């Protein structure tokens, strides 16, 4: 009896320890980011840093304004959501309600496969197919830029949107739909007037998850967006918050320039915290229902 | 308390991982170079940031081959490196430009370690084969925006370059005199990306380290000289700069610094230099 108890305690302790490792990592990263991100912001000035329209860290008189990066990240994410959500949402409705079982199996596994493709592959395909394609279709000298990044991001967020909204739609009680059908509504009316409103918290969570994925993506975006710190425009070469950190980190050496990159990371971190908070809010609401 | 335990655990984990890494490194490198008498001490280098990759790779392999030797590199820039060598604050100064006459007159000695050759690349479909250094500078600063002005098709020039911190960009811009004036359309983060982007766009022009050029792009002649290892070495190809070791004339290096100096200027180091993207001088 006693040994059994001791064993139980030991295993309990082990699990606790493993759990604490995760929490410790999060704490470590948060504390480190804040400590290393604050000095540069202090030196440059919060307003100059966040709203400065020009970034040129390597010049003789360096400029550290990250407004172009913030706007690009916001525009790029918004564009990806605008393109990706309708497609993903419709696919989810189709898979959850309309698709015959065989079709559903095929499409679902295709969606899972899409989720498993590494982001550098998206970037490579974008660079080899999408960028030259945009150049030819729109007759512009170079296809890389915000539009290419938006398209790549829209495809990358599809799996999260489809999977999460599909789960939400499937969780709608059968009785709701039966009642609607019994009242004489058609199948389509039932999906959009009954099932979708009943699952809206879950669908909102899917969108927020998509936003989180889009704003945090670096590799694929870096390969197709041109990566010049311009103010964003559809065909303009742009740089995101993520790629701003990734593209200069390798060389930045010491001093203000490196610290400024940590400050960008801190801004990005805050964005993602905000999105996570929103996600938790929506998920909690959908559970309470 | 729990937080402290976690912190300690994480640290232990990271450290053990790091230890594993360095162990395997030194094991592999030790095997090919353990002839010499043991010297210990510190070699300090100071200077050019563009030489970071080359000198870093050399320093690492030197440390791996000689136990008890410490190699340090202080990335301050060529000018600061030359001054540091003169004032004796480092063993070897690093400069990515040749010494000026007055610097040599001040008692400094230059030894060329390697050459950094930069190829100007275009899409193979582009009919342009030859540009002058001046034309390249005008293209990159946006003075010339159409290929027809340099004998090509009637199409807008797409300028592709590297990110601000890149040594290749620093080299290209300082040789062409376009520092902070380039109007890039794309700033990519690796040589491979530049080559891919240029190979995908018939109107693009880019630059990349000579060692990494592939058949998917066309390297331009500059002032009529074809870029190659030979033309870089004899100096006829213009888009290049020397990587120079700066020492004080007549002043003896410490034994360990002398050993490092001999090692990096020996033909054995050529492969490491080539791997870091430069053409070895020896």
ipTM score for this prediction: 0.74
CA dihedral B174, B175, B178, B182 (to 10 degrees): -90
Task: Report the alpha-carbon distance of residue B278 to residue B167 in Å, rounded.
Answer: 11
Predicted local confidence at residue B7, as pLDDT: 54
- Which A residues in the span 148-207 are in contact with B, Cβ-Cβ below 8 Å? none
Predicted local confidence at residue A149, as pLDDT: 95
- B2–A25 C-beta distance less than 8 A: no
Using the Cβ of B95 and the Cβ atoms of chain A, whether some distance falls under 8 Å is answered with no
Considering only CB atoms, A228 lies closest to which of B3, B10, B185, namely: B185
- B163–A227 C-beta distance less than 8 A: yes
The answer to whether A145 and A236 are in contact (CB under 8 A) is yes
Using the Cβ of B105 and the Cβ atoms of chain A, whether some distance falls under 8 Å is answered with no
Model pTM score: 0.75
- B10–A227 C-beta distance less than 8 A: no
Q: What φ, ψ does residue B97 adopt, rounded to 5°?
A: -145, 160
Using the Cβ of A10 and the Cβ atoms of chain B, whether some distance falls under 8 Å is answered with no
The answer to whether A248 and A263 are in contact (CB under 8 A) is no
Minimal C-alpha gap between B47 and chain A (Å): 13
Question: Chain centroid to CA B194: how far?
Answer: 17
Question: Chain centroid to CA A173: how far?
Answer: 30
Does B5 score more than 70 pLDDT? no
Q: At what angle do helices A67-93 and A241-249 cross, to 10 degrees?
A: 120
A160-171 residue pLDDT tens: 999 999 999 999
Task: Report the alpha-carbon distance of residue B33 to residue A211 in Å, rounded.
Answer: 53
Bigger pLDDT: B12 vs A260: A260
Chain A environment of B201 (Cβ under 8 Å): 131-132, 135, 142-143
Q: How many CB pairs under 8 A join A and B?
A: 96
Using the Cβ of A27 and the Cβ atoms of chain B, whether some distance falls under 8 Å is answered with yes
- B52–A56 C-beta distance less than 8 A: no
Chain A environment of B185 (Cβ under 8 Å): 141-142, 144, 226, 228, 237
- A128–B180 C-beta distance less than 8 A: no
Task: Report the alpha-carbon distance of residue A89 to residue A82 in Å, rounded.
Answer: 11
Q: Which of B77, B81, B197 should be substituted to probe chain A, the one whose Cβ sees the most A Cβ atoms within 10 Å?
A: B197
Residue A16 buriedness (CB in 10 A; 0-12 / 13-18 / 19+):
exposed
A66-288: in CATH 3.40.50.1970: no
A209-256 residue pLDDT tens: 999 999 999 989 988 998 888 899 999 899 999 998 888 775 555 578
Helices (H), B129-166: 133-141
Minimal C-alpha gap between A11 and chain B (Å): 16
Mean pLDDT of all residues in B104-114: 90
Minimal C-alpha gap between A65 and chain B (Å): 15
Chain B environment of A31 (Cβ under 8 Å): none
B277: left (phi over 0), alpha (psi -120 to 50) or beta: left
Q: What φ, ψ does residue B42 adopt, rounded to 5°?
A: -120, 135
- Closest chain A residue to the Cα of B184, Cα to Cα: A228
Q: Which of B6, B153, B203 should be substituted to probe chain A, the one whose Cβ sees the most A Cβ atoms within 10 Å?
A: B6
- Closest chain A residue to the Cα of B4, Cα to Cα: A24
What pLDDT band is residue B23 in, cutting at 50, 70 and 90?
Answer: very low
What pLDDT band is residue B199 in, cutting at 50, 70 and 90?
Answer: very high
Predicted local confidence at residue B24, as pLDDT: 40
**Mean pLDDT score across all residues of chain A:** 89
E-strand ranges in B179-254 read 186-188, 204-209, 218-219, 221-222, 240-248
Task: Report the alpha-carbon distance of residue B73 to residue B47 in Å, rounded.
Answer: 8
Q: Where are the domains of chain A?
A: 2-50, 66-288
Q: Which of A226, A245, A255, A261 should be substituted to probe chain B, the one whose Cβ sees the most B Cβ atoms within 10 Å?
A: A226
Predicted local confidence at residue B99, as pLDDT: 85
Predicted local confidence at residue B166, as pLDDT: 74
Task: Report the alpha-carbon distance of residue A76 to residue A70 in Å, rounded.
Answer: 10
Got the DSSP string for B244-271?
Answer: EEEEETTPPPPHHHHHHHHHHHSGGGHH
- A237–B184 C-beta distance less than 8 A: yes
Does B13 score more than 60 pLDDT? no
Q: Which of A62, A63, A247, A256 should be substituted to probe chain B, the one whose Cβ sees the most B Cβ atoms within 10 Å?
A: A247
**Could you give the C-alpha distances from A213 to A84, A241, B101, B136, B193, in angstroms and in order?**
12, 13, 57, 41, 24
Does B275 score more than 90 pLDDT? no
Mean pLDDT of all residues in A107-135: 92
Predicted local confidence at residue A1, as pLDDT: 63
């Amino acid at each position: 009896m006693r040994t059994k108890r001791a064993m139980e305690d030991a295993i309990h302790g082990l699990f606790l320890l493993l759990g604490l490792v995760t929490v410790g990592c999060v704490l470590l990263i948060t504390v480190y980011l804040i400590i290393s991100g604050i000095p540069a912001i202090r030196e440059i000035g919060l307003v100059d840093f966040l709203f400065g329209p020009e970034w040129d860290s390597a010049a003789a008189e360096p400029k550290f304004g990250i407004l172009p990066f913030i706007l690009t990240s916001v525009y790029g994410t918004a564009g990806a959501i605008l393109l990706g959500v309708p497609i993903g949402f419709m696919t989810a409705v189709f898979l959850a309600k309309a698709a015959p079982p065989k079709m559903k199996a095929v499409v679902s596994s295709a969606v899972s496969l899409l989720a498993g493709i590494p982001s550098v592959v998206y970037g490579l395909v974008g660079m080899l197919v999408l960028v030259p394609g945009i150049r030819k279709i729109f007759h512009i000298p170079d296809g890389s830029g915000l539009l290419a990044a938006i398209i790549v991001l829209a495809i990358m967020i599809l799996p999260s949107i489809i999977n999460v909204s599909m789960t939400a739609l499937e969780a709608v009680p059968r009785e709701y739909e039966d009642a609607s059908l019994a009242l004489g509504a058609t199948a389509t009316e039932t999906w959009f007037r009954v099932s979708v409103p009943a699952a809206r918290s879950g669908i909102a969570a899917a969108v927020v998850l998509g936003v989180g994925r889009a704003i945090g993506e670096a590799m694929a975006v870096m390969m197709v967006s041109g990566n010049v710190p311009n103010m964003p425009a559809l065909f303009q070469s742009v740089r995101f918050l993520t790629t701003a950190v990734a593209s200069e980190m390798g060389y930045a050496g010491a001093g203000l320039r490196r610290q400024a990159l940590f400050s960008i990371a801190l801004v990005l971190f805050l964005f993602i915290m905000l999105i996570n908070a929103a996600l938790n809010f929506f998920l909690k609401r959908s559970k309470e229902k | 308390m729990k937080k402290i335990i976690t912190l300690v655990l994480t640290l232990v984990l990271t450290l053990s991982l790091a230890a594993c890494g360095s162990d395997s490194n030194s094991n592999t490198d030790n095997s090919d170079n353990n002839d010499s008498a043991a010297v210990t001490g510190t070699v300090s280098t100071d200077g050019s940031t563009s030489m970071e990759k080359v000198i870093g790779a050399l320093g690492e392999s030197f440390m791996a081959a000689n136990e008890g030797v410490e190699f340090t590199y202080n990335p301050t820039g060529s000018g600061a490196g030359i001054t540091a060598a003169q004032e004796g604050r480092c063993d070897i100064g690093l400069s990515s430009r040749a010494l000026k006459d007055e610097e040599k007159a001040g008692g400094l000695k230059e030894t060329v370690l390697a050459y950094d050759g930069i190829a100007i690349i275009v899409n193979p479909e582009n009919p342009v084969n030859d540009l002058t250094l001046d034309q390249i500078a005008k293209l990159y600063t946006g003075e010339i925006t159409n290929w027809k002005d340099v004998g090509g098709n009637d199409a807008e020039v797409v300028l592709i370059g590297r990110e601000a911190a890149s040594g290749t960009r620093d080299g290209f811009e300082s040789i062409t005199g376009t520092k902070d004036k380039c109007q890039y359309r794309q700033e990519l983060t690796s040589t491979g990306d530049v080559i891919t982007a240029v190979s995908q766009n018939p109107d693009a022009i880019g630059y990349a380290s000579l060692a990494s050029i592939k058949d998917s792009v066309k390297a331009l002649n500059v002032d009529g000289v074809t870029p190659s290892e030979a033309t870089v070495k004899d100096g006829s190809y213009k888009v290049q700069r020397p990587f120079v070791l700066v020492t004080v004339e007549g002043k003896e290096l410490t034994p360990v610094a002398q050993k490092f100096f001999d090692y990096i200027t020996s033909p054995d180091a050529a492969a490491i230099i080539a791997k870091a993207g430069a053409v070895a001088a020896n």
